Structure 1
Amino acid sequence: MILQAIRKKQPLVHSITNYVVANFQANGLLAIGASPVMADELHEVEEMVSIASALLINIGTLNERTKESMLLAGKKANTMGIPVILDPVGAGATAFRKKTVQHLLAQVKFNLIRCNVGELAAIANVRWQQKGVDSGNGSIAITDEAKKIAQQYNCIVIVTGEKDFITDGVQSQWIAGGHHQMTEITGTGCLLSAICGAALVVGNDPFTQLADTLMTYKKIAENAKMSTKYIGDFQITVLNELHRLSQEGEK
């Protein structure tokens, strides 16, 4: 099981992430035996990423300082062969976010883009009405556009939602399941991106490793809902399920 493989490998995931989710993201990584570090200071990101197993770039609370840190860390990771994940939070919400994502994609080689449908639309330049950092509303051919982006940037693209879609531009898979309460907790998508970073370093089949991660995350949501009633308990149970499955596997 992918979470057990991560626990055995104990990767260090360097996350240049947003302050809304940093604690939940760190606790989620710790729950599966990975090590989190959230360094975003311009003067240390290159040194920090050089000892990491994977780099996550999450633009949730983007500013000019962290933008420069993301670029430096991403380029350093590329030179060292460290996988880089992009979580383009709210990419279409403002011109600054969209321009930053375009710049990052032009300057850094990403192994994975993990986004929602609104963020996919922004990257693909499809007309879309984004609602802040939420996915918003519009019309897009997810399979076609995700494949195009995967081919354009030579990476894997994951589009999460009620059903998740994963593609490397050639092979593709839809993954059903989960529970809508995952969308009522801040940071579940951001945590998934970090876990995907950890998953990328535990084998030699990135597509399968990430598809397994998505299926496991859907199962965690289902298990959490079965044993909880209130949203606060649900959040804690997600962490508990990550911990349990990484130790015991699905029974």
Structure 2
Amino acid sequence: MNIQTIIQALHAVREQKPLVVNITNYVVMNNTANALLALGASPIMAHSREEMAEMMSFAGALVINIGTLDSAWTPRMAFAVEQANIHHRPVVLDPVGCGASCLRAETSRQIAKSANKLIIRGNASEIISLAGEKGQSKGVDSLDSAEKAVNAARFLTEEYQCNVVISGDVDFVVTKEGQVQLHNGHAMMPHVTGMGCTLSALTGAFAAVGEETGLAAAAVLGVVGEIAAEQSKGPGSLQVNLLDTLYQLDDETLIQRLKLA
């Protein structure tokens, strides 16, 4: 995928305004909903089984984030994936803290196994743990570099017939066709909670318009985060500036800023 394809995907999101169903954690609901709106998509935080079949019949994509996992949510997530499969919708899995507990690892693997059109977005430790290896993490924070997770991501693309986005100082997008590196972003971004969750939500918006590699979302958030951080005094102002920058992002800025390898 080249820069023009990413730009076309951004235009498609803004023109089509796809509905993205989010089963996500309590910590980031506001952040991710606002980011989707700033991008041009339409978010809904839907956690009820009773409405999920109806939601997935007209939604563009499903994002599942296991950050505040519990026994009530797990069957709802499974049912939502079933409905996404029935309606041929892409599923974005964010395996938050995968490896921090057996529950998170097993739940993530069950979701990955059941989704027909899957994109996995996680940090390096989550990707390594999801692949069955031992990642280094502290709760939901990764202590591994993204580069160390590339082999694990390749395994996941084969195991689950999916695409994988690894977030880190350098982002990696891994598909069956190969891998791409993104050298954007800023060191301040990990100091804002839910930044990775935001990327997962944006990945759902792009998947809803047919960009199912995860590259466009990673490219956009990397560029936007970089610009916003340059304008911010700290994590508090970064959150506000990131939304404004995402809303104002244009083709020329993407072309000038994006660092693909």
Q: What range is the shorter-chain TM-score in? A: over 0.9
Partner of 2:21: 14
- Specify every segment of 5 or more residues in structure 2 that has no aligned partner in the other structure, as ranges: 1-6, 254-261
Q: 1:94 to 1:54 in 2, by over 3 A?
A: same
Residue of structure 2 aligned with 1:206, choices 199, 208, 212: 212
Partner of 2:133: 126
Give the superposition deviation at 1:211.
Answer: 1.9
**How far apart, in 2, do the equivalents of 1:152 and 1:231 lie?**
37
Give per-residue Cα distances to partners, 1:162-183, cap 9 Å, x unaligned: 0011111222111112101110
Partner of 2:153: 146
**How far apart, in 2, do the equivalents of 1:5 and 1:140 lie?**
31
Give per-residue Cα distances to partners, 1:82-127, cap 9 Å, x unaligned: 1111000001111111111122223233420001111011111112
**How far apart, in 2, do the equivalents of 1:71 and 1:126 lie?**
24
1:52 aligns with 2:59: yes
**How far apart, in 2, do the equivalents of 1:110 and 1:177 lie?**
27
Question: Could you state the TM-score of these two structures normalised by the residue count of structure 2?
Answer: 0.89
**How far apart, in 1, do the equivalents of 2:57 and 2:70 lie?**
23
Q: 1:20 to 1:117 in 2, by over 3 A?
A: same
- Specify every segment of 5 or more residues in structure 1 that has no aligned partner in the other structure, as ranges: none
Give the superposition deviation at 1:215.
Answer: 1.9
**How far apart, in 2, do the equivalents of 1:28 and 1:140 lie?**
27
1:223 aligns with 2:227: yes
Give the superposition deviation at 1:152.
Answer: 1.2
**How far apart, in 1, do the equivalents of 2:118 and 2:163 lie?**
6
1:128·1:138 contact (CA, 8 Å) conserved in 2?
Answer: no
Give the superposition deviation at 1:45.
Answer: 1.8
1:85·1:193 contact (CA, 8 Å) conserved in 2?
Answer: yes
2:19·2:41 contact (CA, 8 Å) conserved in 1?
Answer: yes
Give per-residue Cα distances to partners, 1:197-244, cap 9 Å, x unaligned: 1111324x533xx32322221111111122121221111000001110
Partner of 2:178: 171
Partner of 1:35: 42
**How far apart, in 1, do the equivalents of 2:185 and 2:11 lie?**
20
Give the superposition deviation at 1:138.
Answer: 8.6
1:120·1:159 contact (CA, 8 Å) conserved in 2?
Answer: yes
Give per-residue Cα distances to partners, 1:125-174, cap 9 Å, x unaligned: 11223211111359984222211111111110111100011111222111
Deviates more, 1:68-77 or 1:138-147: 138-147
Identity %: 38
**How far apart, in 1, do the equivalents of 2:124 and 2:70 lie?**
23
- Counterpart residue type for residue 237 of structure 2: D
Partner of 2:106: 99
Partner of 1:71: 78
**How far apart, in 2, do the equivalents of 1:215 and 1:128 lie?**
25
Partner of 1:250: 252
Return structure 1 stretches of 4+ with deviation > 4 angstroms.
137-140
RMSD: 1.8
- Counterpart residue type for residue 181 of structure 1: M
2:119·2:212 contact (CA, 8 Å) conserved in 1?
Answer: no
Residue of structure 2 aligned with 1:26, choices 20, 33, 51: 33
Deviates more, 1:22-31 or 1:228-237: 228-237
Deviates more, 1:105-114 or 1:148-157: 105-114
Question: Could you state the TM-score of these two structures normalised by the residue count of structure 1?
Answer: 0.92
